Structure 1
Amino acid sequence: MKFLALLILPIYLFSFEVNFNKKFSKSLTEDTLTTYFSVVVEGDSEKEINKTLKRFNKKIKDYDKIEKDSGTLTVRPQYRTSNNAPKITGYRGELRYKVSSDQATYINEFISEMIELKEERSTNIVISNLRWTVKDSTFDIANDILRLEAINWGTRYAKNLSRDLGLKCVVKNISIHNSTYRPMARMAYSNTEMVDAKIAVPESNKEDISIDPSFVMECK
C-alpha cells in the first residue's frame, strides 16, 4: 500500500500555470463637440473688469442648449518693475468654461451670442481645444462591456483548455489594465479670427478603446 501511495502522489501534485495577454477592442463614434471657452478682459479698473465678466457669466448660464462645467472667474493685477519695485499697471480678468453639445450648431450659436455681447476692444473671446469626443458615460459603459467580455472569454478558454488537455483548468487570475490613449486635438481661435461669428468645426471620427488583460490559468 505504501508503494502504491508513492506512485499516485506525483499525479496529484502535477500542475502548471498558463500566463498570457489578450487584447479586447471596441470602436466608438465621437458624439460630443467640446471646447474650452474663455472671455479675457484687460483694463485699469478691477471693478469694471469684474462687471464685464459677470455680464458674460449671466449670459452663459442663461444659455441652456449646451452643457457647461469647470467654470472659473479670476481677476489679477498686472505688474511692471519701476525702481526695483513692482507697480500695478492694470488688471486682467478671465472667465473660463468647458462647454459641450452633441449639436455643432448649438456651439456656433452660443459663440455668436457671446461675440454679440462683446462691446470693448479690451475684451477678447478665445475658443481652444475644439474637438469631437466620446461622452465619458459612453466611454465608461464601453469599458465595462470590454471587461465583461474579457472575463467571459477567460472562462470559456479555461473550459476548452480542460477539454483539450484532459485536465481541470481554471482561471486563477485576471488583471485588466486600460491601454486606451485619448488624443486631444488642439485648435484655438480668438475673436479676431471669427468675423462671421462661426468656427470651423472639425470632422467627427471614431475613437478606438481597448483593454489588455493578463490571464493566469491553472491546470492540474
Structure 2
Amino acid sequence: MEPGAPPPVNAAPPYGHVICCEKWRNSTLVQNLKARGVRVLLEKALGVADFQLSNRRKILYVSECDLVAASSYKRKLLRFRNSSSSFQELVLVETSRLSQQYFPAVQKTVVLDLGLSLLPVDGQTEAAQLIAQMIYTDGRDTPFRRRTLSQMLDPVVLAVVQQVPGVGRVKALALLRKFSSVHEICSATLEQLEPVVGPAGAKHIYHFFHSQTAAGT
C-alpha cells in the first residue's frame, strides 16, 4: 500500500452488487455488468484487487497488456496473494492470439507458484458474464440449499480443474474429494493420482501440469 493511502476496503457488498476499482469506471466490463443487472459500486481503495464480490471473493484481472509486460503482472500477483484478507482470491487472465504464448508462464506463476485459482477469459465481455454468474449463483446462502459435494465445492475451483484436457465434471469432483486444492492436484505424483482417475487419466493430469511448469522455466 502506498504511504498515506487509505486502507483497502475489506467488506463484502450486498447480494447483487460488486465493488469495482475506480479505474474500470468507463470500461466494457462494467457496462456489461450493468447490462446484466449488477449494481456496480466504484471504489478507489480496493488495494491491488479489481473486483470484490458479495460471496467474499476478490478478483484480479490480468489483461493482454499485463501479460506482455511480464514483470509488472508478477509483482501485482504476489501483492494480491499476500494481501491480508478473509476473501477467496481468483485471477482472470485475458487470452488472445497475441497473448496465448505467454499463458503457460502465467498459469505456472498463478497456480503452481502462488496456489491461486485461475480462469482464462476471451476479453472483458466474457469476464463480465462470468462475474455476474458468480454473483447471482454463488452469492446468496439459503437454508433450503442441499449440501451435495458439487454445491459445497467452490464452483470456480471446479471450473479450474475441468480445464485439464480429458477431465470432465465427474473426474474433477473425484479429484477434489481426494485433494483439497488445485495446488495439491498440481503437486500430486502419478502414484497418488492413479487410484482417483486411473492410469490414463493420471498421466494426462500429471503431464499437463508438469509440461506447463517446464514451459514456464
TM above 0.5: no
TM-score (norm 2): 0.24
More helix by share: 2
More strand by share: 1
Structure number with the bigger relative contact order (C-alpha 8 A, sep ≥ 6) is: 1
TM-score (norm 1): 0.23
